[in-house]
Amino acid sequence: MELVVIFLLIWKFVESARILCIFQCPSYSHQIVFQPVLKELSSRGHKVTVVTPIPMKDASLMNLTEIDVSKSTYSVMQGSDYLNFLSKEQPVYLKIRKLFEWYHQIDEAVLSEEKFIHIYNGTSARFDLVIAQSFLSPTLHAVAAKFQVPLVGISSLGAYIGVHYAIGNPHPPSIYSESFLPYHGRMSFSERFKSTLYYIWSRYYLNFEALPKCDQIARKYLGNDIPYIQDIEKNMSLLLLTTNPILYEPRPNVPTVISMEQMHIKPVKPLPKDLKQFLDNAKEGVVYFSLGSNVKSINIPEKLRKVLIEAFAELPYKVLWKFEADDLPGKPENVLIGKWIPQQDVLAHPNVKVFVTQCGLQSVEEAVARGVPMVGMPFIADQTRNIQRLSEEGAAVGLEHTTLTKEEFKNAIFEVVNNPKYKQNVKRLGEIWVDHPLPSLNRTIWWIEYVIRHKGTKHLRSPTADVSWFEYLLIDVILVLLTIVSLALFILYVAIKFILRMIFGGRKLKQN
Ligand SMILES: *[C@@H]1O[C@H](CO)[C@@H](O)[C@H](O)[C@H]1NC(C)=O
Ligand SMILES: *[C@@H]1O[C@H](CO)[C@@H](O)[C@H](O)[C@H]1NC(C)=O
Ligand SMILES: *[C@@H]1O[C@H](CO)[C@@H](O)[C@H](O)[C@H]1NC(C)=O
Ligand SMILES: *[C@@H]1O[C@H](CO)[C@@H](O)[C@H](O)[C@H]1NC(C)=O
């Protein structure tokens, strides 16, 4: 009888785990990717607690407890000079620095939340797993170490370079650069040169500036009884990345890196009445324009806005513009603005001919899912590389917004609307993308529960996670080889000199 009870208890434990999720990034496009995972885990009977800037507030999710950190995290973003950050003149290393500065503040904001302190510093909370957003700063990963439970990292993008270092993915700067840089695959000499400089800088910056600061913040809030932050990050049992073969060139990953795809793509829902009417009536075609939830149309420079408005006015199409204010001065007749637009459903409307986008990952994926070709004007982060990839595949035309003219913009739109190749290619990409042995959500959940069942994935840990950069790049071996070769050359030189002296030195003597 006792055995049966114990068995049932263990069974229960495996069936229903206590999972703490910590998602700090105050951005809609980041969080919508995680929501299906939360829903699925909780409906499978796991007790899920999530710290999030975008709570779902869905009362039907009975096994899910949300701790709302929207106020404090959004106020960090509002207090920052975001506009300056958007400008393309800033080199990527300054942007990474800036992002880390924000992240330090966001992490502190999250760790200062009373309800969360009660969990991580209280005596009653127990967990079996921590899932933490893995985007730049690993500070919050330290909560897993505090509870001494396995850590799963999750990202709504591919990994930035520091996470590749931590998990032990091969990352030769000759082929794979920072995901925020547009150099990937076959690089020219100058690209490899810049990629190498960036690689050296990033190693220096992470090891000597960013990570020590993360460690300091983690210790300030969680106490001193935790390992060094880099060791915690390297100890990650699983890394879930939002990558796909459509936008990311394939790369060798260690076995604990798993890609999540189509997470935020939902079945098509009916449109609101006014929007449906506008799109239905636009038989001549619709240009859908949105710069997403991070860049935002109201943030763009005045000059660019003027170009857009003038170009739109001259188009023979209707334009639907996601514009985050009530009023757009100088709005042309054929333009409809909306502060919030059900993007996936709009893109599914047959009259939408082209999507003008900032090329954020989630937006691009929605366009591919609905088969809408794109005109891309990248601003930040991975957007430049996304449009590069799509242009190479013939599914989009890329533009440089800093120098954009009205004619260029109009021509790009005409090209994408009138040349059928763009639509065909975006459809082809969409078909490749959904062809999988198992739906992505099922695979994601399987891996998370695998980590819970085996209390981590120590057996899958790649040795690449533990070698130092100079071992990885064979710097020590190369130095020894160079020493041996130079020594050999030196000996040869001395020997030849000696022999020559013997021969000619002797002759000289004779002559004398
Ligand atoms: C909550 O978890 C229980 C198991 O603990 C499960 O039977 C139930 O379906 C879950 N409810 C919801 C709404 O997810
Ligand atoms: C690594 O993770 C395991 C659980 O998977 C944990 O027991 C261990 O303490 C962790 N070590 C470090 C250095 O974080
Ligand atoms: C949590 O507890 C640690 C000691 O274990 C302490 O150093 C830290 O200040 C506490 N954090 C907060 C926010 O109270
Ligand atoms: C995927 O997961 C859903 C929900 O748990 C389940 O209904 C479905 O059968 C799974 N599909 C496969 C192919 O395993």
* Cα 265 to Cα 73: distance, rounded to the nearest angstrom: 26
Residues 174 and 321 in one domain: no
Q: Could you tell me if 159 and 167 are in contact, meaning their C-beta atoms sit under 8 angstroms apart? A: yes
The answer to whether position 71 is within a domain reads yes
What domain range is 502 assigned to?
474-506
Question: Tell me, what's the pLDDT at 77?
Answer: 80
Ligand nearest to the CA of 445: 4
Q: Which atom of ligand 2 is nearest to the CA of 145?
A: 14
For 274-317, give the secondary structure using H, E and C.
HHHHHHHHCCCCEEEEECHHHHCHHHCCHHHHHHHHHHHHCCCC
Average pLDDT over residues 461-469: 87
The answer to whether position 1 is within a domain reads no
- DSSP reduced 3-state for 23: coil
Longest dimension (CA), the chain: 113
Average pLDDT over residues 104-128: 95
Residues 232 and 101 in one domain: yes
Question: Tell me, what's the pLDDT at 509?
Answer: 56
Question: Tell me, what's the pLDDT at 473?
Answer: 81
**What angle do helix axes 383-392 and 361-370 make, rounded to 10 degrees?**
30
Closest CA to 260 of 439, 6, 61: 439
CA of 223 to the centre of ligand 3 (A): 5
The answer to whether position 352 is within a domain reads yes
pTM of the predicted structure, to 2 decimals: 0.87
Residues 47 and 139 in one domain: yes
Tell me how many domains the chain contains.
3
The answer to whether position 3 is within a domain reads no
Neighbours of 437 (CB within 10 A): 6
The phi and psi torsions of 332 (rounded to 5 degrees) equal -70, 160
Residues 453 and 419 in one domain: no
The answer to whether position 4 is within a domain reads no
- The DSSP output letter for 272 is P
Those residues with Cβ within 8 angstroms of residue 384's Cβ, 6 or more apart along the chain or in another chain: 182, 359, 378
Residue labelled with tokens 């001065």: 329
Q: How many CA atoms lie within 13 A of 303 on its CB side?
A: 5
Residues 301 and 396 in one domain: yes
CA of 110 to the centre of ligand 3 (A): 14
Tokens of 127: 């967990």
The answer to whether position 79 is within a domain reads yes
Closest residue to atom 1 of ligand 2, CA basis: 235
The answer to whether position 6 is within a domain reads no
Q: Could you tell me if 394 and 429 are in contact, meaning their C-beta atoms sit under 8 angstroms apart? A: no
Residues 139 and 282 in one domain: no
* Cα 11 to Cα 25: distance, rounded to the nearest angstrom: 35
Q: What pLDDT digit, counting tens, does each position of 153-198 carry? A: 999 988 988 999 999 998 888 888 877 777 777 889 999 999 999 9
Q: Could you tell me if 196 and 173 are in contact, meaning their C-beta atoms sit under 8 angstroms apart? A: yes
Q: How many CA atoms lie within 13 A of 134 on its CB side?
A: 32
pLDDT bin (cut points 50, 70, 90) of residue 302 is: confident
For the chain, the distance separating the N- and C-terminal CA atoms, rounded to the nearest angstrom, is 113
Q: Is the CB of 62 under 6 A from ligand 1?
A: yes
Neighbours of 72 (CB within 10 A): 18
CA of 45 to the centre of ligand 4 (A): 15
Ligand nearest to the CA of 442: 4
The CATH number assigned to the domain holding 229 equals 3.40.50.2000
Question: What average pLDDT does the structure give for the chain?
Answer: 90
Residues 361 and 379 in one domain: yes
- Domain end position, chosen among 412, 433, 454: 433
Q: What pLDDT digit, counting tens, does each position of 40-73 carry? A: 999 999 999 999 999 999 999 999 999 999 999 9
CA of 150 to the centre of ligand 2 (A): 6
Q: What pLDDT digit, counting tens, does each position of 209-247 carry? A: 999 999 999 999 999 999 999 999 999 999 999 988 888
* Cα 229 to Cα 210: distance, rounded to the nearest angstrom: 11
Residues 88 and 164 in one domain: yes
Residues 429 and 442 in one domain: no
Q: Is the CB of 486 under 6 A from ligand 3?
A: no
* Cα 159 to Cα 161: distance, rounded to the nearest angstrom: 6
Percentage of the chain exceeding pLDDT 90 = 68
Residues 89 and 55 in one domain: yes
The answer to whether position 267 is within a domain reads no
* Cα 244 to Cα 248: distance, rounded to the nearest angstrom: 6
Q: Which atom of ligand 2 is nearest to the CA of 458?
A: 5
> Which runs of consecutive H residues, i.e. helices, occur in 112-236?
114-120, 142-147, 161-167, 189-205, 211-222, 229-234
> Which runs of consecutive H residues, i.e. helices, occur in 206-272?
211-222, 229-234
Residues 424 and 459 in one domain: no
Look at the chain and count its residues.
512
Residues 82 and 122 in one domain: yes
